[in-house]
Amino acid sequence: MNDETSSSLQDAAAHAANDTIHRLTDQCDYIMKNILTWDNLFKLSGSLILIVAILFGFYFIKRSIKKVPEQKLSMHHSVLIRKLLNYISYIIILMIVMNMLNIKLSAIWGAAGIAGVALGFAAQTSVSNLISGLFVLGEKAMKVGDVVIVNGITGTVDSIGLLSTRIHTLDNQMVRIPNSAIINSNFQNNSFFPVRRFLFELSVSYSTDMEKALEILLKVPAKCPTVLTDPAPKAWFDGFLDSGMKMVLAVWLNPSDLTETKNAVYMAIKKDFDAAGIEIPFNRLDVSILK
């Protein structure tokens, strides 16, 4: 490489470096003159202060709503109001940020119109769950702690959101149920009313004295402390089966006493029927061994 070629390469490198420095200098000048101005700094500071003030304001409002006694404002309405306040605060903050960045809403609406068609199908399920969540919270069909049955799944409600409801099953498994499934399927709340009825079904042999069996069955609830006396228990015959006559005992109880009541009533029925010589028929299998 001769001296002329080396000098040309050095001159080209120097020109490139100078051009880069000039571009960086121009960009810095543009930022300082057009972006990092006192007006923009005051605008940014004011927007940040406003955002912080809005967050604190909504926080104290939600905290005050949470402290309202349940007699004046139910838990469902409290949860619904606080969730709506969250969304309102997000929208307000988003509009402040857009204004701070000089983003025009007309451009956003135009882009949303184009993107909305594409996203509409993808968001269809979420929107359905969101609307269903408002109905679930609004109609107060359940609350946290209730025992519910949805699509054959039984569990205790842990949380009720706008998109889904979380329950834990009797074997302590967490199940997330979309709110649209609650609205569109048969839903059962075993804790909605303060008391519930439970039916005990059994059968007695055809040789049984029916009046005596009915009398003994009606005395069983008095031996079980968790059975309520108001409404009063009832017993009746409910048809003829292949191996006996069907009997039904209906008792009222607190939902939390269900397991204890079932154990006590079943044991009392078996004990009293055995003492009275009343047979509860069951299938028998005879086995013969041929030699």
Of residues 263 and 99, the one with the higher pLDDT is: 263
Helix (H) or strand (E) holding 15: helix 3-30
Q: Give the pLDDT score at 7.
A: 60
Of residues 142 and 271, the one with the higher pLDDT is: 271
18 and 12 Cβ atoms separated by less than 8 Å: no
In the chain, the percentage of residues whose pLDDT exceeds 70 is: 70
Q: At what angle do helices 258-276 and 210-219 cross, to 10 degrees?
A: 140
- Average pLDDT, rounded, for the chain: 78
| 197/187 Cα distance (integer angstroms) | 18
Does the pLDDT value for residue 34 go beyond 60?
no
Token pair, residue 234, equals 């009832």
| 181/151 Cα distance (integer angstroms) | 8
Residue 195's nearest CA partner among 153, 229, 156 is 229
- pTM for the predicted model, two decimal places: 0.55
**Average pLDDT value for residue range 27-49:** 64
Distance (Å) of CA 49 to CA 61, 86, 95, 124 = 18, 19, 15, 37
Q: Give the pLDDT score at 87.
A: 77
Does the pLDDT value for residue 251 go beyond 90?
yes
Q: Give the pLDDT score at 25.
A: 66
Angle in degrees, CA 177, 159, 153, rounded to 5: 35
Question: How would DSSP label each residue in 17-72?
Answer: HHHHHHHHHHHHHHIIIIIS-HHHHHHHHHHHHHHHHHHHHHHHHHHHHHTS-TTT
**Average pLDDT value for residue range 36-61:** 75
The pLDDT tens digits of the residues spanning 58-77 come to 788 878 877 777 667 666 66
